[in-house]
Amino acid sequence: MSISYNSEKKIFKLDTSGSTYAFQVFDENYLIHLYYGAKIPDDNLASMYYHGGFASFSPSNEKVETEGFSPDMCPMEYSCEGAGDFRVSALAILNSDGNNVTDVRYTGHKIYNGKPEIKGLPSLYLNSESEAQTLEVYTIDSTTGAKVTLIYTVFENYSAITRSVIVENTSEKTLDIERVYSCCVEFPQMNYNMMHLYGKWYKERSLQVRHLAHGIQSIVSKRGSSSHYHNPFVALADDKATEDFGEVYGFNLVYSSNFSAEIEVDSSNSTRLIMGINPESFGWHLEKDEKFYSPEVVMVYSNEGIGGMSRTFHDLYRNNLIRGYWKNKKRPILINSWEACYFDFDDDKIVSFAERAKEMGIEMLVMDDGWFGERNDDTSSLGDWFVNEKKLKGGLGSLIDRVRALGLKFGIWYEPEMISPESKLYKEHPDWCVHVPNRDKSIARQQYVLDMSRKDVRDNIFDQIYGLLSKYPVDYLKWDFNRNITEAGSALLPPERQKEFFHRFILGTYELMGRITAAFPEMLLENCSGGGGRFDPGMLSFSPQIWCSDNTDPIERLTIQFGSSMCYPDLCMGAHVSACQRTGIDTRANVALWGTFGYELDPNKMSDEDKEAVKSQIHNYHKFYDVIHNGDLYRIISPFENHYRAVWQFVSKDKNKALLTSVVMRRPETQAFFVRLKGLDPLKYYKDEDNGEVYSGALLMNAGLNLTDTDCSDGSSFIKYFTAQ
């Protein structure tokens, strides 16, 4: 049993392969957190709640007889607003009396095999019921009738636990949720480094590390998407932890809209982390018997350093988040038309790309933006999803037939959540764009956002997409989202529900994505938002890959891909070889091999030498596919810590194969270069396929390789492949 309850001590204990999470039903049915960390066999943890003495400024409950209890000082399992806990709170509900004092207490629980779905929201799933066990803890605010269910699912084999919350109004009066975080986790000390991923368009997911300080530190998005600027991932690493050693706790929210992660260190040096929907511009109105479902937080514990945390996330997401037809299938190598021609193309030009691509071994042609409506630049036609036959003179069917006759698959670009002011759809339905009364509508990239909270809007877009995809054999769809949401409101929501808009918008997007993927289950869906603006586990639940960044410069891609790898597996990272001239084509390919791999350039302008290089790269893609996409990642030299080189390695699960990649960002001050490999079997012997030399795993990991004679000029790179003998 991965979940147990000691009825005498009233302690819940949740055990994974490598961690234990424990909390207690305390006096007066308060829920008190006890422990989260390395796995322990017993539950002798009852004294863990006590954090030392406190003054009258930290109130207590006079009915609690146990000495040392105050909601303001004790580690609360799920913190509430206004009832004695002054730290950041996970739950605040405005009641019919006009105050938001919230105080939920334990009433019961249920333990069962399996994992429930979350209504309307993506979440981790099980391949079999035996993979996980779930605990539902039932609590109620006896004054307001707010019933709050805390849901914990334990993935025993992954050292991972998921958390979510259901709020139900069991009273006769209305309630308004002001904040509902999906998890609250307490730590008895503050000696952690906070790690998170920040960025902007063209420079997503850079790693930020800072030591926790007294007070509140947070990362948030209020853009209507998870955003380029902050990713819904945060980790707490012991301040002595490294890539390979020490305790690390990772948290990732399965959600694609406004989020918040807040970490408070109090005067007793204890730390509280809460994560969930950003309460700013959020509210949810509950009538009698209505329920609200929060998104899911994935919590991972590692005592094998940051790398151990990352590999757990990677395995868990490969097996229990990414789903559908393409989950375990090799992805086709594609060439995308965007950087080759932008909006300037016709059917003959697209076919010419396909002809050259076929000669090099590329497997799919993707026609990007510009094929629909009157779309010749970014000023028009979003929402008019019919073929522009001035460009595609034989129509879409003729183009697809010509491409498929060459033996290539065919893909197409859409931006379903957007509308251009210069479009037939906008002229017919101007109220369908996101707006509020008496305010100017902000515009970005010459477009507005469609109100995806409305079923009539979603039905229209679905019908347009379905009408085309059901008529023609489309193998791949790139789903883009090229601006954030302003003037957030819906013409159909009453005033008391306008704060529900952002959440209803993303629920609508999820619903539309679900309809499209259900209608075309074998079509490969790739998400995009100006690159990596919605690179989150919510989107990964619908699309097995996401365009990692619009920045295809291989040197800039190093930080983007290293940062993304903190919790996202390589097989979901959209990465292409482009026409960027900063490095040679071999380095561009060596970096892109880390991800889904493809091309973003004009094949008609390539030299014969580069075409031959592409053939070799495609051979490597197939040769190394399994070790990269199903193996374990080891980050050896990080571009965030080293200004000269980046080095990473993939090792197959059976430890029989290893691929080492090194990239020189700028020429080092010294040419001396030694690398210790990681993750090998010390008792096995490995052959370097380049030169035939054979080394023990112990030698490669402890003594390392002397690579001083490798090219160290700017932008140079190499890969080394090792096989067990």
For 612-670, write each residue's pLDDT tens digit.
999 999 999 999 999 999 999 999 999 999 999 999 999 999 999 999 999 999 999 99
Nearby residues of 628 by Cβ (< 8 Å), 6 or more positions away: 570, 571, 593, 594, 650, 659
- With pLDDT > 90 as the criterion, what percentage of the chain qualifies? 97
Note the pLDDT of residue 464.
Answer: 98
From-to residues of CATH 2.60.40.1180 in the chain: 634-724
For 180-197, write each residue's pLDDT tens digit.
999 999 999 999 999 999
pTM of the full structure: 0.98
For 664-697, write each residue's pLDDT tens digit.
999 999 989 999 999 999 999 999 999 999 999 9
Note the pLDDT of residue 1.
Answer: 79
Helices 554-564 and 585-592 cross at an angle (nearest 10°) of 10
**Distance between CA atoms of residues 249 and 300, nearest Å:** 6
**Distance between CA atoms of residues 382 and 490, nearest Å:** 20
- At position 644, the amino acid (one-letter code) is Y
For 293-331, write each residue's pLDDT tens digit.
999 999 999 999 999 999 999 999 999 999 999 999 999
Domain 334-431+455-487+506-626 adopts which CATH fold? TIM Barrel (3.20.20)
From the list 306, 327, 326, 331, the residue with the least C-alpha distance to 233 is 306
Nearby residues of 529 by Cβ (< 8 Å), 6 or more positions away: 225, 228, 480, 481, 482, 535
Q: How confident is the model at residue 217 (pLDDT cuts 50, 70, 90)?
A: very high
**Distance between CA atoms of residues 471 and 412, nearest Å:** 14
**What's the mean pLDDT when you consider all of the chain?**
97
Catalytic residue, chosen from 176, 315, 480, 536, is 480
Mean pLDDT of 439-465: 98
Is residue 167's pLDDT more than 90? yes
**Distance between CA atoms of residues 52 and 68, nearest Å:** 7
Is residue 368's pLDDT more than 80? yes
Q: How many CB atoms lie within 10 A of CB 81?
A: 20
Query: 334 pairs with which residues across the strands?
Result: 364, 598
Could you identify the residue written with the tokens 């399994």?
A: 626
Note the pLDDT of residue 50.
Answer: 80
Mean pLDDT of 164-189: 98
- With pLDDT > 70 as the criterion, what percentage of the chain qualifies? 100
Note the pLDDT of residue 56.
Answer: 85
Q: How confident is the model at residue 153 (pLDDT cuts 50, 70, 90)?
A: very high
Nearby residues of 128 by Cβ (< 8 Å), 6 or more positions away: none
Mean pLDDT of 349-372: 98
Note the pLDDT of residue 65.
Answer: 87
- Which two three-digit tokens encode residue 309? 């945390």
Q: Three-state SS across 220-276?
A: EECCCCCCCCEEEEEEEEECCCCCCCECEEEEEEECCCCEEEEEEECCCCCEEEEEE
Length of the chain: 725
**Distance between CA atoms of residues 677 and 653, nearest Å:** 15
Domain 634-724 adopts which CATH fold? Immunoglobulin-like (2.60.40)
Concerning whether 480 is annotated as a catalytic residue, the answer is yes
- Which two three-digit tokens encode residue 138? 């039932």
Is residue 136's pLDDT more than 80? yes
Is residue 571's pLDDT more than 90? yes
Note the pLDDT of residue 686.
Answer: 98
Is residue 52's pLDDT more than 80? no
Note the pLDDT of residue 55.
Answer: 75
Concerning whether 266 is annotated as a catalytic residue, the answer is no
CB 111 within 8 A of CB 152: no
Catalytic residue, chosen from 176, 347, 550, 570, is 550
For 62-111, write each residue's pLDDT tens digit.
999 888 899 999 999 999 999 999 999 999 999 999 999 999 999 999 99
Nearby residues of 119 by Cβ (< 8 Å), 6 or more positions away: 291, 293
Is residue 398's pLDDT more than 80? yes
